[in-house]
Amino acid sequence: MGRLTRSSFANPSSNRCYKTDMEQLAIKLLGFAAATCTTLAYAPQFVKVWRTRSTEDISLGMFLVMVLGILLWLLYGLLSGDAPLIVANAITIVLAGGILLMKLKYG
C-alpha cells in the first residue's frame, strides 16, 4: 500500500482509497461469489430435512441464533444498500428459516 503524501490528497487518482470501476466490480463479484457459497451451504440440509422430516440432530438453539443473525445481516444489507448481502441473506433466510420451522414442527 502506498504512502499518503500531501499530493495524494490533491490528486485522488494516486490515493488507493479511491477504487477504479474495475476494482469495484471485482469486489462486488467477490461478494456475490462468497454469498453464493454460504447461501448454497444450507440447501443440502434443507432438502434432507424436507425429505426425511427428521430434525433430531439439528440444534434448535443454534438455528434460532443463526436465523436471528441472518435477519440482522439482511437488515444491515438493506440499510447499507449492499446487493450481495441483500440477495444472499434473503435467500438464506428462506432456507435456514425453513429448517428452523421444520425443527419446530417435527422436533
- Indicate yes or no: pTM above 0.75: no
The torsion region of residue 19 among left (phi > 0), alpha (psi -120 to 50) and beta comes to beta
Indicate the residue type of 25. Answer: L
What CATH architecture is 28-106?
Up-down Bundle (1.20)
CA 6 to chain centre: 38
Distinct helix (H) and strand (E) counts, the chain: 5, 0
Q: Could you give phi then psi for residue 79, rounded to 5 degrees?
A: -70, -35
Instruction: Give the confidence band of 60 by pLDDT, cuts at 50, 70, 90.
Output: very high
Instruction: Answer yes or no: are the C-beta atoms of 93 and 70 closer than 8 Å.
Output: yes
- What is the pLDDT averaged over residues 80-86? 90
Domain ranges of the chain: 28-106
